[in-house]
């Protein structure tokens, strides 16, 4: 189905993607969008936490990863129903990365795709799920994990992969998934006290 882009949504996308860019941002934004980088950092954090806190920390990390998996799977189901075309495949002048190089759609570019996978942003949903679950599972972290979905969401617009409303929907999706996983984990840990963290 055709997904009309609201005027404010389009305006914000054009500002972030086509006007508010620099050499520094061009270098770091692909890193903030890289799931390989994120998973490497998560693996390192898991190793350190398990070494310091024991096997129960591993169980908690598995809850975190399960939440991200649920978020990723469910957003894919939504994308298959909504079919919003990504801006890099819809808008002339869009800046994007291909094969490690920045490119720009020519101003003569005309959209040809009827279906896409732009809405909602899985990156935004997954990182929001990760951040909120991390806050709930390790309260001492305070609010720092919330920087991750904010920066990741911005990078998705910067890279021409998503409109701002895709990211907002992804964040909301992540909040819902994190809340559901947290409630499930609390119920299980109450029923099976051995799961509780010391």
At 103, the pLDDT band (50, 70, 90 cuts) reads very high
Residue 43 lies in a domain: yes
What's the confidence (pLDDT) of residue 198?
Answer: 46
Range of the domain at 141: 23-192
Give the distance, in angstroms, between the CA of residue 41 and the centroid of all CA atoms in the same chain. Answer: 15
Q: Domain for residue 102, yes or no? A: yes
Q: Which residue has the higher pLDDT, 192 or 194?
A: 192
pLDDT range class, residue 196, cuts 50, 70, 90: low
In a domain, 10, yes or no: no
pLDDT of residue 183: 94
Residues 91/96/102/108 CA torsion (nearest 10 deg):
-10
Query: How many separate helices (H) and strands (E) can be counted in the chain?
Result: 7, 2
Is position 7 within any domain? Answer: no
User: Does 62 fall in a domain?
Assistant: yes
DSSP codes joined into one string, 99-128: TTEEEE--TT-----S----SS-HHHHHHH
Task: Locate the DSSP E strands across 3-136.
Answer: 95-98, 101-104
Q: How many domains does the chain have?
A: 1
Cα→Cα distances 144→5, 8, 39, 148, 196, Å: 32, 29, 18, 8, 24
The CA R_g of the chain, rounded to the nearest whole Å, is: 19
> Is position 137 within any domain?
yes
Q: Which two tokens stand for residue 179?
A: 């809340």
Q: With respect to residue 13, please indicate whether it lies within any of the assigned structural domains.
A: no
In a domain, 198, yes or no: no
Task: Please write the tens of the pLDDT for every residue from 16-59.
Answer: 999 999 999 999 999 999 989 999 998 998 888 888 877 788 88
The string of pLDDT tens digits covering residues 5-26 is 889 999 999 999 999 999 999 9
Q: Which residues, at least 6 apart from 7, have a Cβ–Cβ distance to it below 8 Å?
A: none
> pLDDT tens digits, residue range 123-156?
999 999 999 999 999 888 888 899 999 999 999 9
Query: Who contacts 102 (Cβ-Cβ below 8 Å, separation ≥6)?
Result: 26, 95, 96
């Amino acid at each position: 189905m055709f997904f009309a882009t609201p005027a404010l949504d389009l305006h914000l996308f054009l500002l972030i993607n086509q006007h508010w860019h620099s050499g520094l941002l061009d270098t770091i934004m692909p890193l903030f969008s890289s799931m390989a980088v994120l998973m490497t950092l998560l693996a390192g954090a898991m190793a350190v936490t398990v070494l310091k806190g024991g096997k129960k920390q591993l169980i908690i990390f598995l809850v975190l990863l399960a939440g991200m998996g649920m978020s990723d799977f469910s957003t894919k189901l939504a994308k298959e129903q909504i079919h919003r075309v990504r801006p890099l495949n819809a808008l002339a002048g869009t800046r994007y990365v291909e094969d490690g190089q920045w490119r720009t759609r020519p101003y003569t570019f005309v959209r040809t795709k009827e279906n896409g996978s732009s809405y909602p942003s899985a990156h935004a949903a997954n990182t929001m799920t990760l951040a909120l679950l991390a806050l709930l599972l390790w309260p001492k972290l305070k609010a720092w994990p919330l920087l991750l979905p904010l920066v990741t969401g911005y990078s998705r617009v910067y890279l021409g992969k998503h409109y701002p409303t895709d990211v907002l929907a992804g964040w909301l999706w992540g909040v819902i998934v994190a809340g559901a996983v947290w409630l499930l984990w609390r119920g299980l840990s109450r029923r099976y006290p051995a799961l509780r963290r010391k």
